[in-house]
Amino acid sequence: MIHGPCGIHNMNCPCMIDKRCSKKFPKRFRDTTSVDSEGFPLYRRRDCGSFVLKSGVKLDNRSVVPYNKTLLKRYQAHINVEWCNQAGSIKYLFIYINKGPDRTTLSVRQSQNENDNDEAVDEIKQYYDCRYLSACEASWRIYSFDINYRYPSVMRLPFHLPGQQQIVYGANDDFDDVLNKPSVASSMFLSWMKRNEPDEEARKLNYVEFPTQYVWKYKDRCWQPRIKGTSLGRIHSVPPSLGEAYFLRILLNKVKGPRSFEEIRTVNGHVYPTFRAACYARGLLDDDAEYIEAIKEASHSGSGYYLRNLFATMLMSNTLSRPDYVWENSWRYLSDDILYRHRNSTGLSLNEDQIKNLTLCEIEKYLLRNNSTLRNFTSMPYPDDDSVSSVNNLLINEELAYDKDNLQNEFHNLLNSLTAEQRSVFDNIISVVRNKKGGVFFVYGYGGTGKTFLWKTLSASLRSKGQIVLNVASSGIASLLLSGGRTAHSRFRIPLNLNEDSICSINPDSDIAYLLRKTTLIIWDEAPMVHIHAFEALDRTLKDILTNESETNSQLPFAGKVIVFGGDFRQILPVVPNGSRQDIVNSSISSSYIWQKCKVLKLTKNMRLTLGSQASDIEQTKIFAQWLLDLGEGKVGGSNDGEATIDIPNDLLIADSPDPISDLINFVYPSIVDNSKQPNFFQERAILAPKNDVVQEINDRLLSIFPGDEKEFLSSDSICQSEYVNDTVDESLYSPDFLNGLKVSGLPNHKLVLKVGVPVMLLRNLDQKSGLCNGTRLRVISLYNHVIEAEVISGSNIGNRTFIPRIALTPSNKRIPFKFQRRQFPLALCFAMTINKSQGQSLSRVGLFLKQPVFTHGQLYVALSRVKSRQGLKLLIVDKDNRVTNITSNVVYKEIFTNL
């Protein structure tokens, strides 16, 4: 089969869209067949000189449509067969059957008939969210025909640590009666081991293989041999942060026929004390020598304080296979300053055990403030010192440790500085807090209207009276601007992979639950960028935790807690992978049942652009601010329904030149070679782009001209051991070369090339208290073989130094049909960054490179509103032919403003 001719030979061909072939013909010549980054095949196309004439045009192998010769001849139709190498390929076969009713968003507008009255139309309020059922689908459902089926059946296999099986009981059940139920001692997992005791055939199978030969009888709570049919077993996935449960899951894929937990931990006749130790004995975990070397390297320039933080970071990243081994081989470096400090304070000497104990105390304090503890690492020693506070005391004490007198004075100063608009919002919220009847607010205001100033005032007002205020934000960068700020996910233990039934990982008897009971006010900034499921998960969790205090709490949103959300719906909405416009809008907080009980308070006065401006500049800045708002609401570019073509003012554009990219770089980073050693040079400068590939292109170009020697760091990539069943995985399917070539958003590349002095961005939360969170920008100070020393250049901790080790990172991208682990420094160059990453950052010099237009709601608004003045902004826009232009696209989903 031959495609075309199209392109310049036939511009009227149906495949031609915007003067280009929508099917991307002709393809390139290729010597071999390969797979692209999305998992699709790139077929071999030999340049052998052969061609055919079609409509008088010579077409060669580049125009051949992939086909299956046998099927083509048999059915006289184009049928192509491709290898399904990812879950998305398989799902595509069923998407039109299982996606549910067609869904669209309609905008109802008045007729354009001249005889109609010219009445004002509120476009925002006339959006309707609709579903459509065709007659044939409606009939199919009315007659209750099968919508789907599954073959073979897949059985989910639960497992648990000793004595930690789940128990279901009613609110009024007696605990003794519940614990004496036979089902408690006969969970599916325990019954599997019990079946292995008398059955020799059963002992030939591991847990995953068991459902192929045995059937679980729910009524009898036992496994019985399978008589007919078949079933596949799947153990549900658990993250490495769960510790022993993660290592138990690895072993369940390996160990056949165990009759007890001790047999699972047995390797070559030796019973190991932990599942982690058993995994290491089986050779399933990496060696930790690299991390010992990293601590030794860091000791050349870092004190014991920094080294202890480094060790704690390694622990929290769940990277160490044997934490106790690393501790025993590095504790002398970690305790470098302990003896000196103790002698200065007490004048007494310490023996070796006392030094170790004090060092462990310091590590424990670091872990506690990051929601962890040494008790999570069973092989690590625990300090026996009364000065180490429990998690409960630490969480409460941390929130009550503010100086009330200083806060009282600060509060009066802040209160007197509020505008009338801010004071009205403040009074609304405080009155509800005093009534203690609960309430939900959303403070809606664009950047510069003083939301952060308002949060500070609310916090000071209540904390000065000894009350607890929890300040959280949707992103790490935004949380750094809040007093005592944390990310919402870390504070409330919100799962990373959410669904409509998710709850937070908070036990009602836990210390974080006790903190939530004592909390007076919760402030959640940048709320519109978080998925709706996160808010509803917190709502369900608080109702579960606080219902015991009062039955009425279950009827109130967030169980009667006062929660204030804040943000700007003009900015980027929740990211929904491959989601449609409707999916993105419906994932926003304004589509939740919570929104119906939420009171919207608005801030409209811009304090940022006029603050400190000259009188002559105030009018110009007001015009620029209004233009940004109109852009964010989709009012620029004429009448449109979500995507508009707009003209950018000439004074904001990079002019056409032989090398416009160099002009953009020189605008953002003037004389970069001469200024590269200035510590403050990179603090408020960045080049932005919509997509990662363009960001990578700019970063590589700037790195090449940056002075200094390059140092290359290569990652160690492997399939997670929890994915292996026995040892039957074909290594050739997921070779190291294949894994090294995977580029996943949020994950560092296999090859990381850096120079001393370059700006980098942190890709993981390491220590939020010290400002080390996802999105924090740093400047490289020293490059060692196993550790990198860097200095913070953004947020509220500018100037702080830290050591960053290589850690094991596992992507959460669902498009990848397997779990793999990349051991690499969690860093990326950030001369340039994506627009999404820049949200929440305030910069003085921004260059926006639009090689392709923005592709989702709010991206252009976010990029242009990062700057403090119009003079700090320049855009470089190129069209499909790589020519400089002043025209680009703006995407705004106007229905998001409906309920405001």
352 pLDDT band, cuts 50/70/90, is: confident
Alpha helices in 641-764 (DSSP H): 660-668, 672-675, 692-705, 736-740
Alpha-carbon separation of residue 266 from 158, 165, 276, 800 (angstroms): 21, 22, 12, 46
Instruction: Give the CA radius of gyration of the chain.
Output: 30
Each residue of 244-285: pLDDT tens digit? 888 899 899 889 999 999 999 999 899 999 998 898 888 888
Report yes or no: 685 and 794 within 8 Å, Cβ to Cβ: no
Dump pLDDT digits (tens) for 361-390.
999 988 888 888 898 888 899 987 555 544
pLDDT at 211: 92
DSSP-assigned states of every residue in 273-337 = SSHHHHHHHTT-S---HHHHHHHHHHTTT--HHHHHHHHHHHHHTT--S-HHHHHHHHHHHHTTT
Taking residues 571-583, report their average pLDDT. Answer: 87
What is the rounded distance in angstroms from the CA atom of residue 832 to the CA atom of residue 690?
A: 11
Q: Report H helices in 464-575.
A: 476-479, 488-492, 511-518, 532-546
Rounded average pLDDT over 666-686: 90
For residue 149, name the pLDDT band (cuts at 50, 70, 90): confident
pLDDT at 401 over 80: yes
Q: What domains are there in the chain, each with its CATH number?
A: 16-83 (no CATH), 153-281 (no CATH), 289-388 (no CATH), 400-602 (3.40.50.300), 644-894 (no CATH)
* Residue 461, SS3 per DSSP: helix
Per-residue pLDDT band at 39 (split at 50, 70, 90): low
DSSP secondary structure string for all residues of 120-161? ---TGGGEEEEEE--HHHHHHHHTT------SSEEEEE----
DSSP secondary structure letters along 178-211? HHTSGGGG--HHHHHHHHHTT-TTGGGS-TTTGG
For the stretch 176-186, pLDDT in tens is 777 777 767 78
Contact by Cβ (8 Å): 832, 692: no
Tell me the average pLDDT of the chain.
86
Arithmetic mean of pLDDT, 755-765: 93
Q: Is the pLDDT of residue 204 over 70?
A: yes
Q: What is residue 606's predicted lDDT score, i.e. its pLDDT?
A: 76
Report which listed range, 401-405, 425-429, 449-453, 820-824, is most confident: 425-429
Percentage of residues of the chain with pLDDT beyond 70: 89
Q: What are the counts of helices (DSSP H) followed by strands (DSSP E) for the chain? A: 29, 37
pLDDT higher than 90, residue 219: no
pLDDT tens per residue, range 278-290: 988 888 888 888 8
Q: Residue 115: pLDDT above 70?
A: no
155 has pLDDT over 70:
yes
pLDDT of residue 724: 60
Measured in whole angstroms, how far is the alpha carbon of residue 897 from the centre of its chain?
25
Q: Which residues contact 7 (CB under 8 A, 6 or more apart)?
A: 13, 16, 20, 21, 25, 26
pLDDT grade for 309, boundaries at 50, 70 and 90? very high
State the average pLDDT over residues 850-867: 92
CA distances from 813 to 86, 531, 564, 745, 820 (A): 12, 16, 31, 8, 11
For residue 740, give both structure tokens. Answer: 């090294």
- Over residues 578-592, mean pLDDT: 89
Percent of the chain scoring above 90 in pLDDT: 46
Q: Phi/psi at 249 (nearest 5 deg)?
A: -60, -40
Question: Position 539: which residue type?
Answer: D
User: What digits encode the pLDDT tens for the residues 470-525?
Assistant: 999 998 888 888 888 889 998 999 988 888 999 998 888 888 888 999 999 999 99
User: 674 Cβ partners below 8 Å, 6+ apart?
Assistant: none
Of 719, 724, 718, whose CA–CA distance to 255 is shortest?
724
Block residue for tokens 């004071």: 423
- Residue pLDDT, tens place only, 319-347: 898 999 999 999 999 998 887 777 776 66
Higher pLDDT, 769 or 299: 299
What distance in Å separates the CA atoms of residue 602 and residue 840, rounded to the nearest whole number?
19
